[in-house]
Amino acid sequence: MTPAATLSGRKILLIVGGGIAAYKALELVRLLKKAGAGVMSVLTPAGAEFVTPMSLAALTGHPVRQALFMPEDETAMGHIELSRWADLVVVAPATAGLIAKAANGLADDLASTTLLATDKKVLLAPAMNVRMWLHPAVQANVERLKGFDGFHGVAVVGPDEGEMACGEFGPGRMAEPAAILSAIEGLLAGPDGRPLAGRTAVVTAGPTFEPIDPVRGLTNRSSGKQGYAIAEALAELGARVTLVSGPVALAAPVGVERVWVETAKEMQAAVQAALPADIAVMSAAVADWRVDGVASGKIKKAPGGPPSVALIENPDILAGVSAPGKLRPKLVIGFAAETTDLEANARAKLSRKGCDWIVGNDVSDDVFGSEGNAVTLFTRGGDVESWPRQPKSGVARKLAMRIADHFKA
């Protein structure tokens, strides 16, 4: 679905907080308007230090709301009405202060009152100094907002990692306007915004760990970030997701059921147990081999040199899930991490494994453990789509939307 198809006629309330990233909110308004959305804006006093109400008014085509108690504003559209008018509330930049107020139900100005009064989903695009973002108080506030039951929910896009205006480096930069736009598109996709409601999915992520003895093992390089982001994006579109995860240091996405595994055989069993499912996305970096005859005690260093370790092949989980049968998911997606000949290798993998789509990524670049990824999607029907390098969450949202489109068709 193009952004225009999803966003045309949709109503966005944009709350612009105080931060240097506020200038990017103007570009976001431009992109939203171009896609046919209606935008009203709230500018906090701190936000007004960075962008002028005049720019926001000119770009949105509507007066900008700046204060809670303004008689002329209340006669046009009261702040409660404004928060209900929107299909989605977007806070960009979402400062530590705005997040803290929302997480704790504080309502002492227009932005915080609107966030408390709305009955719509809220998308936060955090932007702050890296130390502030990593502070446990901010992290706890974000988790708290995500976790409220019976609330319409909070989604978060970004922050990105990189050099910041304050000269420090790390996560804290506001997501780029294009990434915020695709997050908005994802949240609003479909008539009810949850085009995968009623669908089930199983996603594998992370590496496997194959023991040699109680203290050593074989593993692959994988942070699990891309698979976790896919599980999260599918859940955001309404799917019921089981995430079968190898050992990684990531929190389970909200609403996703995580099953921890260590070895490929455990991963295979957990995937089988999660079937039937409509969708299978196998993004784990599964070890191709395991040790034949794992030692029960620690293998000692001996004068004769290192021990030889016999390897046997692990089951191919993706090929197993793709094999025809009653439990085969309707859509099976595999990954191909390649350093050369991406297209030829991805196509070969597509037919060898029997899956429906392959997401090819060139790992000759900086992919492992990083926030960004550039991928090409190959379908059995012969479609090829290249998606530019973007945060792994952006790739995940695009893939989830592509999956939703597939089921709609």
The catalytic site residues sit at 166
Angstrom CA distances, 71 to 56, 65, 74, 79, 265, stand at 21, 12, 5, 11, 66
Opening angle at CA 201, ends 344 and 378, nearest 5: 15
Around 150, how many Cα atoms within 13 Å sit in the side-chain half-sphere?
Answer: 0
Question: Which listed residue (96, 125, 157, 284) binds ligand C5P by CB under 6 A?
Answer: 284
| Distance between CA atoms of residues 184 and 401, nearest Å | 12
* 365 marked as part of a ligand binding site: no
Structure tokens at 109: 């100005």
Q: How many helices (H) and strands (E) does the chain have?
A: 15, 19
What's the rounded Cα separation, in Å, for the pair 125 and 183?
Answer: 10
Note whether 318 binds ligand C5P by CB under 6 A: yes
Q: Which is nearer to ligand C5P, 100 or 282 (CB)?
A: 282
Return the closest-CA partner of residue 89 out of 55, 124, 56: 124
- 120 C-beta neighbours (distance < 10 Å), count: 19
Residue 281 CB, nearest distance to ligand C5P (Å)? 8
Would you state the structure tokens that stand for residue 48, as one six-digit string? 């007004």
Tell me the three state secondary structure of residue 144: helix
361 binds ligand C5P (CB under 6 A): no
> Any known ligand binding at 317?
yes
Closest listed residue to residue 94, CA positions, set 173, 149, 27 = 173
Binding piece for ligand C5P, criterion CB under 6 A, among 34-42, 100-108, 141-149, 316-324: 316-324
Q: Which one among 32, 123, 264, 279 touches ligand C5P, defined by CB under 6 A?
A: 264
282 makes contact with ligand C5P (CB under 6 A):
yes
Least distance to ligand C5P from the beta carbon of 311, Å? 13
316 near ligand C5P, rule: CB under 6 A: yes
Looking at the Cβ atoms of 139 and 339, the one nearer to ligand C5P is 339
Q: For residue 203, which of 157, 161, 255 has the smallest C-alpha distance?
A: 255
Number of residues this chain uses to bind ligand C5P (CB under 6 A): 14
Distance CA(296)–CA(376), nearest Å, equals 43
The yes or no reply on residue 218 touching ligand C5P (CB under 6 A) is no
Q: How far apart are CB 317 and ligand C5P at their closest, in Å?
A: 3
CA 299 to chain CA centroid, nearest Å: 42
For residue 295, give the nearest of 218, 217, 214, 219 by alpha carbon. Answer: 214
Binding mask 337-356 for ligand C5P (x = CB under 6 A): ------------x-------
Stretch that binds ligand C5P, among 131-139, 156-164, 185-193, 330-338 (CB under 6 A): 330-338
Binding range to ligand C5P, per CB under 6 A, among 21-29, 185-193, 313-321, 369-377: 313-321
Residue from 164, 336, 342, 403 that binds ligand C5P (CB under 6 A)? 336
Options 63-71, 276-284, 302-310, 392-400: segment touching ligand C5P (CB under 6 A): 276-284
Which residues define the annotated binding site for CTP?
288, 298, 315-318, 335, 349, 353
Q: Enumerate binding residues for ligand C5P (CB under 6 A).
A: 204, 264, 282-284, 286, 314, 316-318, 334-336, 349
